[in-house]
Structure 1
């Protein structure tokens, strides 16, 4: 049942090089994730830059403080344009997250397309309406704030 997409856009006050350097470094994920999620990368010997086939393991507490293992694979990378991460182990039946960047006047447009399917069929679809959709929105709102704080608010 229920397959969903969340599409978010943010204009960033930085160059393509600056934004790419930041978003393509797995070590920066914690900086753009709300503290209450208890986000910790647990992968050993993690490269500073992502590459196709890279596996990243995290512990995260998305709801009720319950620690969950989440493993993603970076499946596609086109330098300074986009990358894709897909869940291999974690809370979703399907998780596919596209991260796109493109130059705009005075900055960069970041566009995220998250395609996901909660687990548990009908119950997961209900949970999406009650909790998951709003939680994802909250996480991306936090990320918008964190990116603005890092690079400054965009002005055209």
Structure 2
């Protein structure tokens, strides 16, 4: 079993409460996902995040193939972190931790995604060619979109 990890950190010039308000609203996930992915919440995303929440999506990750994705919000400690885990979807395992820390002049967001691909050796073979580059592309889009929405982080100086 091959387990992969994607780890990103981004700083934004917003308060911890502002960051939490944005990221704890499932509807905002569509805002920070590339439009070509056809991301749509089909159920469970119309209320603030809570542990045990089941959210269903339709997404088109590759070659125009629509895929149903079901996640559960398993842990929430407002405004510091939440965890979502795939219950049904394209990965054999998807465990995504979102951390928020107040820093001078803003907030630092950290994402740690542990994931496993289906199809054994075949999944491992396509990981460096398709899966990893696609995930990095999605997170890079998100990084740029967040700067567009909230501005660039500049540490305050005395």
TM-score, length of structure 2 as denominator length = 0.96
Deviation digits for residues 128-156 of structure 1 (CA, Å, limit 9, x no counterpart)? 11110110000000000111111111111
Native 8 Å contact 1:68 1:91 kept in 2: yes
Q: Which residue of structure 1 aligns with residue 130 of structure 2?
A: 131
Structure 1 runs (4+) greater than 3 angstroms displaced: none
Structure 1 residue ranges without an equivalent (≥5): none
Q: Which residue of structure 2 aligns with residue 59 of structure 1?
A: 58
Q: Which residue of structure 2 aligns with residue 50 of structure 1?
A: 49
| Match runs of 1:89-100 below 5 Å | 89-100=88-99
| Count of aligned pairs | 155
* Separation in 2, partners of 1:97, 1:89: 14
Native 8 Å contact 1:2 1:124 kept in 2: no
Q: Which residue of structure 2 aligns with residue 26 of structure 1?
A: 26
* Separation in 2, partners of 1:53, 1:138: 29
CA RMSD of aligned residues (A): 0.8
| Match runs of 1:111-150 below 5 Å | 111-150=110-149
Deviation digits for residues 43-74 of structure 1 (CA, Å, limit 9, x no counterpart)? 05x34310000000000001111100000000
* Separation in 1, partners of 2:47, 2:145: 20
Which secondary structure state, in structure 2, belongs to the residue aligned with residue 142 of structure 1?
helix
The farther-off stretch of 127-136 and 16-25 is: 127-136
TM-score, length of structure 1 as denominator length = 0.97
Native 8 Å contact 1:53 1:73 kept in 2: yes
Structure 2 residue ranges without an equivalent (≥5): none
